Amino acid sequence: MALLEILHYPNPLLKERSLPVETFDAELRQLAEDMAETMYDAPGVGLAAPQVGALKRMVVIDCSAHEEPADLIVAVNPEVIAREGDCMEEEGCLSVPGYFAKVARSARVRVRYQDLEGQTQERDADGLLAVAIQHEIDHLDGTLFVDRLSSLKRSMFRKKYLKMLQQQELEEA
């Protein structure tokens, strides 16, 4: 297992649409293991393959609390097949460190995906898991949570975030 580099906004790979996974092999399983290790180390509750530079439709998610046993979901080629209700929760992202904003999402979802053996699975989710699933699937489509903000909030984010990056560069120099 290995820790992978998490790409940060505004890396152009984060805007790319990921390709469907067609081969379920040892390489895919290794990527899933490395992604999970990277997510836990960050720490985060989800990580999509494009965030580590792999344009594959795969995500790892674990919304278990720290005192609970791990509940890792590895979802290959995931798609939301049903939505219900609305929620507005504060989100953050490992690719946009230090920035949080409320994002409108569906309160409950049904997701269909393949496991690492290529077997089709379906799962119902609500709460944090529903939000995480939608957030990570967005990454597979080249969408960041900040892209879902109003144009005014998105403009404010860009200015604030780019200023923060410039400040970090000055401090590192």
Tell me the pLDDT tens digit for each residue of 28-60. Answer: 999 999 999 999 999 999 999 999 999 999 999
Measured distance between the N- and C-terminal CA atoms of the chain, rounded to whole angstroms: 32
Q: List Cα–Cα distances, 167 to 95, 96, 101, 135, in angstroms.
A: 18, 15, 21, 28
pLDDT score of 166: 82
Query: Please, is 163 exposed, middle or buried when counting C-beta atoms within 10 Å of its C-beta (0-12, 13-18, 19+)?
Result: exposed
Taking a C-beta distance cutoff of 8 angstroms, is the pair 47, 94 a contact?
yes
Taking a C-beta distance cutoff of 8 angstroms, is the pair 48, 140 a contact?
yes
CATH no., domain 12-172: 3.90.45.10
- Tell me the pLDDT tens digit for each residue of 58-112: 999 999 987 888 899 999 999 999 999 999 999 999 999 989 999 999 999 999 9
Q: What is the pTM of this model?
A: 0.93
pLDDT score of 165: 80
Active site residue 91: no
Q: Among residues 16, 68, 117, 136, which one is catalytic?
A: 136
- Tell me the pLDDT tens digit for each residue of 9-21: 999 999 999 999 9
